[in-house]
Chains A and B, each alone.
Chain A
Amino acid sequence: MHSNKYTFIYAIGLSMLTAVVLVLTSQQLKPLQEANLALDSKRSVLKSVLVTSEEDEVIETAYDGSVEEMVVDSEGNEVTGVDVADVDLKREIAKEPSERQLPLYVYTEDNGSKAYIVPMRGVGLWGPVWGYLALSDDFNTIKGAFFDHKGETPGLGAEITELIFQEQFQGKKILDSNGDFASVNVLKSTMKSSLDSENRVDAISGGTITSNGVDDMIKNCVAPYLTYFNNLKSN
């Protein structure tokens, strides 16, 4: 049997040692991890306008060449002096819509037409879900959508990352026939609703809570941009 003193010293020593090892690993790998995260969000933005590539450099060039970042507010003004990278979406969506800083990505296609990409964040079943919704320059028709999640159930809620779910959004509209905001609703295909087929997509069977999370996320995150979009439209 070891003495108490030995036991204490051993426990403290081992804790310190592993702490140092972990700190060093974390410090060493941090720049790489952050680069990965930045690249991943660029890749996600581009996925929403249907530009995909496995090559990291292709993504970098495409992003730098054709995506413009900006921040707007809910009154439709552009906010200057704020970098999109500094806006923490998680903190913003916790605020009232009128107080949020709204990051926006503008993608210019080769033929000059523009797409407006809204970043979104919400809650799924086990953790956060997020995504990007790209609107064509009529500020109504959806060009594409991209969703991702932290830890939804594989095969069920996690299916929101699959193309088969995301492709449903293409060509859908966020406004109803009267021009009011109706969002794109994620509903069970058999669920009765007064919504036009253009304002709804099929939810994932077995992934109801995640589907509802995506539904709420789109409503919550896209609505504050409408003023800015209307300003652009009337100009």
Chain B
Amino acid sequence: MAEEVAELKEKKEPLFSKKNLQVLKDPLDDTNPVSVQVLGICSALAVTVQVKPAIIMTLGVLFVSAFSNLIISLLRNGIPGRVRIIVQLIVVATLVTIVDQVLKAFMFDVSKQLAVFVGLIITNCIIMGRLEAFALGQKPWPAFLDGIGNGLGYGLILIAVAFFRELFGAGSVLGFQVIPEWAYEHGYVNNGLMVLPPAALFLIGVYIWIQRSRNQKLINVS
């Protein structure tokens, strides 16, 4: 309570105050939704065979997490506690459906790429996790930034994993052949495991390992 009062009395906070920037940047590393909070793993397995779907999925999640955070934060004082999860779900599902419809109307090629993945955004636990943990108790602007930060944090992992899976699984990146033809002629073979979902788990594991050895803050937090 005391804190809340203090906050009310405070002069208007600048848009990109240190605290707000922290909200935006933390999910990229210290509180990364995938590698630290271990959320959204299932979609990280599904859409990271190639880089392009991973990028498109990132954009979709970014949009939905930013705006669902914003909307829930705007509604936060009116949402009845007992049905708050359902309210969150409706907001998320509505946004996802709108994204899908808009893509179909204006970016038909992209929507064909995304086909199955759009639906997966609704079930992405990062989005509801952030709504529960952050947007329900924060003002709209920080909530919006938090949504963007988490979308980016998720995308960072997704694209990193997809990069290595496509590189070693198909020898290409974004569809362009990277491993030269002569390597194949000399006996180089694409790694079939990389195309399968377990490869994403291994890669995320390696990512977490590297991240923890670099970032001392993450050790013993669990």
Q: Is B214 an interface residue (CB 8 A)?
A: no
Q: Is A195 an interface residue (CB 8 A)?
A: no
Q: A150 to B117: give the CA distance in the assembly, Å.
A: 11
Q: A11 to B90: give the CA distance in the assembly, Å.
A: 10
Q: What residues of A have a CB within 8 angstroms of the CB of B106 in the complex? A: 32
Q: A7 to B97: give the CA distance in the assembly, Å.
A: 25
Q: What residues of B have a CB within 8 angstroms of the CB of A11 in the complex? A: 80, 83, 86-87
- A2-B82, A150-B115 known; A155+B105 contact, CB < 8 A: no
Q: Is B192 an interface residue (CB 8 A)?
A: yes
Q: What residues of A have a CB within 8 angstroms of the CB of B78 in the complex? A: 10
Q: What residues of A have a CB within 8 angstroms of the CB of B94 in the complex? A: 18, 21-22
Contact B195 A151 (CB under 8 A): no
Q: A32 to B170: give the CA distance in the assembly, Å.
A: 36
Q: A2 to B82: give the CA distance in the assembly, Å.
A: 8
Q: Is B160 an interface residue (CB 8 A)?
A: no
- A11-B87, A36-B108, A154-B49 known; A206+B102 contact, CB < 8 A: no
Q: What residues of A have a CB within 8 angstroms of the CB of B86 in the complex? A: 11
Number of contacting residues on B, CB 8 A? Answer: 31
Contact B81 A2 (CB under 8 A): yes
Number of contacting residues on A, CB 8 A? Answer: 29
B146 → A minimal CB distance (Å): 22
Contact A1 B104 (CB under 8 A): no
Taken residue by residue from 1 to 40, chain A's Cβ proximity to chain B (1 for < 8 Å, 0 otherwise) reads as: 1100011001100110010011001100100110011011
Q: Is A156 an interface residue (CB 8 A)?
A: yes
Contact pick for B169, options A1, A26, A39, A155, CB 8 Å:
A155
Q: What residues of A have a CB within 8 angstroms of the CB of B156 in the complex? A: none
Q: What residues of A have a CB within 8 angstroms of the CB of B174 in the complex? A: none
A19 → B minimal CB distance (Å): 9
Q: Is A153 an interface residue (CB 8 A)?
A: yes
Taken residue by residue from 65 to 91, chain B's Cβ proximity to chain A (1 for < 8 Å, 0 otherwise) reads as: 000000000000011111100110011
Contact A155 B170 (CB under 8 A): yes
Supply 14 A–B pairs (Cβ within 8 Å), ascending by A.
A10-B80, A11-B83, A14-B87, A18-B91, A21-B94, A25-B97, A29-B101, A32-B105, A33-B104, A37-B108, A40-B108, A126-B116, A153-B49, A155-B50
* Interface set of B (CB-CB < 8 Å, partner A): 47, 49-50, 53, 78-83, 86-87, 90-91, 94, 97-98, 101-102, 104-106, 108, 112, 115-116, 166, 169-170, 192, 195
Name 4 extra pairs, CB < 8 A, besides A1-B81, A2-B80, A148-B112.
Answer: A11-B86, A21-B94, A22-B94, A155-B169
